[in-house]
Amino acid sequence: MKIKVTLGTMQNASKLVSIAESISCDVDLCYGRYIVDAKSMLGVLSLPDFAYGELQIPVETEEEKRRILEKLAEAGLLYEKKRRRNNVKEAVKWNSACGNSYK
């Protein structure tokens, strides 16, 4: 399962690490070509720009998926498209980091 998350602050990074630690399987946080262990605060903070990221979690059941999404939503970490539209520069930065380009 891939989930886009919004970080931006040390407090949000700490919330993400806490949620990731509660998951029994490996959790990776990706930003562009960088992949770090989402259970590691040092790893999360070592990303070149930790404003946004994509969690990759190998979940097996819909129940697990729902539980993880609920935790992320409660913490306010789910990436919302509204935020991206409001800040065009961030949207371009995010897409270029993911290898997308505008023509």
Bridge pairing between strands 52-56 and 28-31: antiparallel
Q: Are 90 and 84 in contact (CB under 8 A)?
A: yes
Strand-pair partners of 28: 37, 56
Q: What is the pTM of this model?
A: 0.74
- Is residue 4 within 8 Å of 80, Cβ to Cβ? no
| pLDDT tens per residue across span 7-50 | 989 999 999 999 999 999 999 999 989 999 999 999 999 988 77
Buried b (16+ CB within 10 A) or exposed e, 25-44: eebbbbbbeeebebbebebb
Domain 2-97: CATH superfamily, name plus number = HPr-like (3.30.1340.10)
